[in-house]
Copies of this chain bind each other. A is one copy, B any other.
Amino acid sequence: MPTIKDVAIRAGVTVTTVSRVLNNRGYISQSTREKVHRVMKEMHYQPNEIARSLTRKRSMMLGMIIPTIAHPFFGELTNYIENYASSLGYKLLICNSRMDKQKEKEYIDMLKSNRVDGVIMGSHTLDVEEYVKLKQPIVTFDRRIADIPYVSSDNYKGGVLAAELLLNKGCKKIAHICGNLSLDLLGNKRSEGFIETLRHRSMEPAVIELGTDVFEHSDYERVILKLLQEHPDVDGLFASSDIIAMNVIKVCSSLGIKIPEQLKLIGYDDIQFAALMNPSITTIRQPLEEMAKLAVDLIDRLAAAETVPLEHILPVTIVERETT
Spell out A's residues near B (CB within 8 Å): 1, 44, 46-51, 53-54, 59, 61, 68-72, 75-76, 78-79, 82-83, 86, 91-96, 98, 109-110, 112-115, 133, 135, 217, 243, 246-247, 249-250, 253, 272-273, 275-280
A272 neighbours in B (Cβ, 8 Å): 70, 217
Beta-carbon contact of A1 and B135 below 8 Å: yes
Residue in contact with A246 in the complex, picked from B83, B86, B243, B276, CB distance below 8 Å: B276
CA–CA, A95 and B54, complex, Å: 23
Query: A96–B47 Cα gap in the complex (Å)?
Result: 22
**Nearest CB of chain B from residue A58's CB, rounded to whole Å:** 10
Known: A135-B1, A278-B277. A70 touches B75 (CB 8 A): yes
Distance from A223 Cβ to chain B, minimum over Cβ atoms (Å): 15
Asked if A75 and B69 sit within 8 Å, CB to CB, the answer is yes
Q: How far is the CA of A44 from the CA of B278 in the complex (A)?
A: 53
How far apart are the CA atoms of A1 and B278 in the complex, in Å? Answer: 54
Across the interface, A75 reaches (CB within 8 A) one of B72, B91, B113, B279, namely B72
Q: State the CA gap A71–B93 with chains docked (Å).
A: 18
| Inter-chain contacts of A92 with B (CB < 8 A) | 93-94
A-B contact pairs, 7 of them (CB 8 A): A47-B113, A49-B115, A69-B69, A69-B79, A70-B78, A91-B114, A250-B280
Let me know if B113 and A217 touch, CB within 8 A.
no
Within 8 Å CB of A115, what residues of B? 48-50
Instruction: Collect the chain B residues with CB atoms within 8 Å of residue A217's CB.
Output: 272, 275-276
